[in-house]
Amino acid sequence: MGFVNELKKEIMIVKERDPAIHSNMEVLLYPSFKAMIMYRTAHKLYRKKHYFLARWISQKAVRKTGIEIHPGAEIGEGFFIDHGNGVVIGETAIIGNNVTLYQGVTLGGTGKEQGKRHPTIGDNVMISAGAKVLGSFTIGANSKIGAGSVVLAEVPPNSTVVGVPGRVVKRKEESAPREQLDQIHLPDPVCEDISCLQKSNTKLINRLIELEARMKALEIEQESKDREDKENENL
């Protein structure tokens, strides 16, 4: 009965997050669904120290789906991978509840260090396409990681991160609902910096024009005074 409930949960998650799915039968073809069913089996074997068998199942899942989840990773409920090709999740990664990943996401380490070497992802986090989260640190709950970002340091809860290397560009205190899977409308720090520079440049140019006009007026005034003095001398 536990396995049947697990299947029902995974089907519900895929249908809830992907509007392209129209029936339960379609879910059975979905890469995320296959990968998660195989991961849950592999993870149980890994916890019982059947490491070879666990890895064999996970590698079989990679060949079928393009999604590589190490059986040692800990993944909470409501986990969803959209499309999924190229997703890599390391052995010591810990993922909370209701987390969404898109294609090309890596939750990896930064070298050959021992122990906890992969990130911890809080609840209700969305990691957009192509983002890389590398190292043993925490991505706080209700955060968003922008597409193509490379995150190398801890992220506070309720944050939005973009860029290479990733930096926090927005923070809010309220929790984000898990249905809010917007990858597009994220702040662009480069655009904001360029906009600030353009405004500063415009101010400087206007000030320079003003100073040049004053200098010109002073020169004209001085020339007029010099002429008057010459005329007075001639008289």
Please report which confidence band the pLDDT of residue 150 belongs to, taking 50, 70 and 90 as the band edges.
very high
Asked if CATH classification 2.160.10.10 holds for the domain at 2-187, the reply, yes or no, is yes
**Residue 228 pLDDT:** 77
Q: What is the pLDDT of residues 158-202, one digit of tens each?
A: 988 888 887 888 666 554 444 455 555 566 666 677 878 888 888
pTM of the model: 0.70
Q: What is the pLDDT of residues 63-122, one digit of tens each?
A: 999 999 999 999 998 898 888 889 999 999 999 998 999 999 999 988 767 788 999 999
- Residue 43 above 90 pLDDT? yes
- Residue 207 above 50 pLDDT? yes
What separation in angstroms does the CA of 198 have from each of 22, 51, 140, 190, 193? 48, 58, 34, 12, 9
d(CA 40, CA 47): 11
DSSP bridge partners of 142 = none
Q: Are 129 and 103 in contact (CB under 8 A)?
A: yes
Matching residue, tokens 């536990």 = 2
Other CB atoms within 10 A of residue 124 CB: 24
DSSP alpha helices (H): ranges in the chain?
2-17, 24-27, 31-47, 51-65, 189-234
Q: Which has the closest alpha carbon to 146: 109, 105, 174?
A: 105
